[in-house]
Structure 1
Amino acid sequence: MQSSFRQYRSEAASHSHDDFHQIIIADLGMLELEVQGRGGCVSGRRLAFVPAGDTHAYRAVGMNRFLVLDVDIDVAAGAGLERLWQLAGASPYLEVGTGYAGHLTGLLQGLEQKRAISRIRRFTPDGQGNLQSESLSLLYMAGIEGIAASENAFADDAFVCQSLREVLGHAAAVQGDLGGADAMIPMRLQRLLAWIELRLSEPISIADMAMIAAQSESALFAAFQSYLGTTPMRWLGEQRLQRAYVMLGDPKNTMTLGNIAHEVGFTDQSAFSRAFSRRFGHPPIALRRSNRL
């Protein structure tokens, strides 16, 4: 299996590949696609599963970055990925459920960390690719503490296949184009909203939003008021609480309240419970209990 992070140009291009399926996941921006005449896009929780042999055209506008996975046909069949794709609707365009965007984020971050380890290994003093104390220090400095103690965590396809099973297992076919109200939102704002949706567990500032939207902070506030009727931080807070509501309402979700709070960007469980209660009129534990009766 081959994986790479790619940036696409605004000029359209097309090709096909016969010996592997291609799965495309957005890290930043939107990729317009046409797979065997079916138009759609990759952005936020929307990913593309391009079957082997299908001709596809693509183009992106503005800042963009995508994870592209070339999955051998035999690997996809043996790992159960084709079956999960069929169960999800066998569409080139799939959308991961609202409460499961963390699976996409985990895959993106895991492969990014693998790349960081690979870059450091090139310069290891022993010449054998073994991480030395100097290299481990670099990993810690890069914020990859969880990887330094287990350097082979992402050394093979097992991590990618398991992550893809989680993603495809919580995905469903969608209509190709965005359509509806989303089509009226400017591309730069759509790009920002999709970027935020995959990072609800992370600290996000107004400055971060303005940078991704490629506009000033004052223009960002104006865009949110004009197209979404609220401020950037209020919109962000609402998305976090809505994500938590979906997760708590899922009887199969066994995460603790503290872990759910962290997953939606709260560092303090008490603050999460207060915000949730103000928004929905009852504490999060009440919703969890009601869905397990």
Structure 2
Amino acid sequence: MTDTIRLAPLDNAIQHHHHDYHQIVIGLSGYAEFEIAGQSGIVAPLSGCLVPANIEHYYEGIGDNRQLIIDLPDDASALTGMHRRSRSLFDRPGYFSLDESLQHYLQFLIQEMTRANHASGDLLVTTLLSSLHARLGATLCPPTLTKRAGRSLDIPRLEQFVIARLDRRLSVSDLANLACLSEAHFAERFRDQTGITPYQFVMRLRLTRVRELTTSTDMPLADIAERTGFANQSALSHAFRRHYGHSPMQLRRLSR
């Protein structure tokens, strides 16, 4: 694979993947959100991010947006030979803003790309990377992150997902995948938004269903435990008593 450079918008739906080449994304217009190996940031006009190869990342364009996207395999001319120092840009994920000189070069690069007989893409990319390394190399360790915009989690959707699977073992990873976030980022955002952990959220939904089945049916507790994701009747009773202050059977007697 040779390095590729293109102008493109990012989809307005959350996407995630990883690839075996490095990538640079620079904002030209509009905004995009990224999460790269758990590090979140906003790519605004004249700012960008560095995505190392084989690192899972999530991204989403916000409204109308246009990005400069550069894909760089390990053997790209911009990363080998006399330019191999530029490889250090991809030692870790990073977010950056373009200074005035880089902004001028970006304008030249965009204009050059639109010309019929433009300069070699390899040359354009090599010059950009060398300039980025010269100006940003010292500031990308650790990267300066822009806090990701606080888009709310869809709690009703998460609740429906859990309720439909109460008889199964559910993990934070299952919920994070539904929200297209890393597990750590999802857990942090969930606590910030709801005041409880994802585990507590799932447990409350399980116990709510236990309470409903206990008061509205004569179903044995062992069967209720199986339907609501508890390992056995004892585990159900312990969790129920700790949450409500009394046992399921006490509740059943009081409700009759």
TM (normalized to structure 1)?
0.43
TM (normalized to structure 2)?
0.49
Q: Which has the higher Rg, Structure 1 or Structure 2?
A: 2
